[in-house]
Structure 1
Amino acid sequence: MLPAFGLYTHIRANRIRSRFLLAGLVVLSLVLVFAVALLMRALSGEVPNGYRHDLGGYLAGAFRDLPWLAPFALAGSAVWIAIAFRFNQTLIDLVTGARPVTRADQPRLYNLLENLCISRGVPVPILRVMDNSAPNAFASGLKPEQHSITVTTGLLETLDDAELECVLAHELTHIRNDDVRTMVIAVIVTGILSFVGELLLRSNMSFRSGSQSGSSRKDKGGAGAAILIALVLIALVWFLSQAVKFALSRSREYLADAGAVELTKNPDAMISALQKIEGKGEIEKVPSGIMELCLDNPRSGIQDLFATHPSIADRIDALRRYAGGTPAIDAAPEPVSQGPASVSSASAPALGNPWNR
């Protein structure tokens, strides 16, 4: 893909990349359907007429099953996504305890968000507040009338007005860029893939023990190889689906930080907000899918590859290098002086810029 220059071309390139990644999730769904068909064929010992009970026979049977199984699987996923479109905010409110607030309830918060929306001519999202001491925030809603921004009471107590405005601008950028819709769909699809994959892996041993009594020793080699291939495919689908979700989430955080600077013209306040919430944003007793939507997700895997968000240090470094943020005191002097506090084609080269990923 050609390198993108400037915030809005980054956003456009990111949307195109997201469509390819979501298409990849559909392909992974088909691979999972094939793996299920192969596993069922191997466990039942059934092959198409004219084929031997060997690996080739089981593979042929799975390929024959794919055309009629795939529509059912895709239709089921579509129904699940449709349900999520209708009830996602209700479910989020139930698990987080967030409540809608008005200007009378939170004048400081409402005025900051309203001013940002007026400056860009966009509707004001619904504001929600969650009673939790962890300083964090997230955007949600799959349709314009559902769009909302939820902040914790801990965030309101931790940040000053300039910092809070940057956080609201960050979440508003997620809404403007359709990040929320993309991420929720990705979480739903990967959730389906993970659930089905884990269910099959957990059930394999019981299925296998129940089916082996009806299969002969002569079949055992081919069926065993088919089961092994199916399990490898299921594990691969799970791993790649998680990688797609992480790729979507990580790239969007850089763009949302840049969007916050573009809206507020205050990179230092964005940096200060990130510094204040670093390592403190863990919201207990909420699903991982909601944490993946948050401003900061301290949950990470054993390696950085499995973190849904870039590290706060990397995000701050990007703001200092490419968005006009004040350089760190101990940072080496840049060969080129920083420009105005905006993100433009002149402020970031194509190579080395995390917003170009």
Structure 2
Amino acid sequence: MNNVKVFGLMALLTALVAAVGGAVGGRGGLVIALVLAGAMNLFAYWNSARMVLRMYGAHEVSRESAPWLYEMVDRLRQRAGLPMPVVAVAPHAQPNAFATGRNPEHAVVCVTEGLLQLVAPDELEGVIAHELAHIKNRDMLLQTFTATLAGAVSSLGQNAIWSSLFGGDEEDGGGGIVFALLAPVAAGLVQMAISRQREFKADAVGAEICGRPLALAGALRKLDDYAHRIPMEVSPAVAPLAQVNPLSSFGGGVARMFSTHPPTEDRVRRLEQLARAA
């Protein structure tokens, strides 16, 4: 069901790009916006691992420098049928983790120092399994594709605003500007909805990899709790990669629409359902 929802959201985002492109510059405007957005996101995709590690201040570890962590990742990645990723540790007190890299052969699994200190070993396995699930599901490729489409909508929207302000149809009545302002917002909401669905999918696959859905559920509770108590200074640009929102800036109601992470209680409830069904 998760994949069906993602497919539907991708189709909606693609239709939005086509609608904005046709309204602003026809086929030519659509192609130009897609090329520009694609070039920027392709660069980010190709260099994602190095860029993200630098932004988190993380450093790589080896089997010699962190044997038990390295061996845990090695054991879980074998269960997942993945190549051995680079293992890294970020110097943050908040317990959290993320995965990055352009494909399974160039992947990175990073945990924070706080995670190593504040969760039990079985919960740590659940967290790492979740990140390996992102790698297995090739979520970085999906993120790049959705970012390209959302970037194209934003670029076209900016062009529409300038066109409406300087040389637009006087009988438009401001409709072009309203459309140009709302389209990027709609694209961003769809992009965030796709991200939330991928988190649910990674939870399910991660639970399968580690074999203990309740351990991952317990870890998520702790990570969410500590994220509200221990701040993490990290760029909002890379915050969506973390297993729980490290900025803890989203509350309930409308604010949840703009969150790249599903509510933790929803994730825990689904994991508990998986445990009961096992």
Calculate the TM-score normalised by the size of structure 2.
Answer: 0.85
Gap change, CA 1:94 and 1:226, over 3 Å in 2: farther
CA distance in 1, matches of 2:148, 2:30: 18
Contact preservation (8 Å) 2:126, 2:210:
yes
Q: Which residue of 1 aligns with 2:194?
A: 248
- Aligned-CA RMSD value: 2.8
Structure 2 Cα separation of the partners of residues 78 and 305 of structure 1:
25
User: Matches of residues 202-217 of structure 1 in structure 2 within 5 Å?
Assistant: 208=165, 211=166
Distance 2:144 2:34 in 1: 17
- 2:129 aligned with 1:169: yes
For residues 138 and 315 of structure 1, do their structure 2 counterparts lie closer, same or farther at Cα, with a shift above 3 Å needed? same
- Pick the structure with greater CA Rg: 1
Equivalent residue of 1:295, what SS?
A: coil
| Residue equivalent to 1:231 | 177
The answer on 1:291 being equivalent to 2:239 is yes
| Counterpart Cα distance in 2 of 1:280 and 1:188 | 33
Q: Does 1:319 align with 2:271?
A: yes
* TM-superposed deviation, 1:94: 2.8
Structure 1 position 69 matched with structure 2 position 38: no
Closer/same/farther in 2, CA of residues 226 and 98 from structure 1, 3 Å limit = farther
TM-score (norm 1): 0.67
Q: CA–CA distance in 2 between the matches of 1:267 and 1:244?
A: 28
More helix as a share of residues? 2
Give the match's secondary structure for 1:145: helix
- The answer as to whether partners of 1:300 and 1:308 remain within 8 angstroms in 2 is no
User: Which amino acid counterpart does residue 104 of structure 2 have in structure 1?
Assistant: P
Q: How big is the shift at 1:75?
A: 2.0
Of 243, 260, 270, the match for 1:308? 260
Question: Residue 6 of structure 2 aligns with which residue?
Answer: 18
Q: Which amino acid aligns with 2:268?
A: I
- Give the number of equivalent residue pairs: 272
- State the secondary structure of the residue aligned to 1:127: strand
1: distance between equivalents of 2:5 and 2:233?
A: 32
Q: Do the aligned partners of 1:274 and 1:316 also contact (CA within 8 Å) in 2?
A: yes
Structure 1: segments with no counterpart, 5+ residues? 5-9, 38-64, 213-221, 325-337, 343-357
Rate the CA distance shift 1:227–1:66 in 2: closer, same or farther, 3 A.
Answer: farther
Look up the SS of the partner of 2:60 in the other structure: strand
Contact 1:31 1:233 survives alignment (8 Å)? no
Contact 2:213–2:274 (CA under 8 A) maintained in structure 1: yes
Judged with a 3 Å threshold, the aligned counterparts in structure 2 of structure 1 residues 192 and 87 are, in CA distance, closer, same or farther, namely: farther
Deviations 1:176-214 (A, max 9, x none): 11222212432354245446646875x68xx84xx58xx
Q: How does 1:9-48 map to 2 (within 5 A)?
A: 14=3, 17-35=5-23, 37=24
Change (3 A) 1:190 1:287: farther
Runs of 4 or more above 6 Å deviation: none
TM-aligned CA deviation for residue 146 of structure 1: 2.1
Say whether residues 1:114 and 2:114 are aligned partners.
Answer: no
Deviation at 1:277, TM superposition (A): 1.0
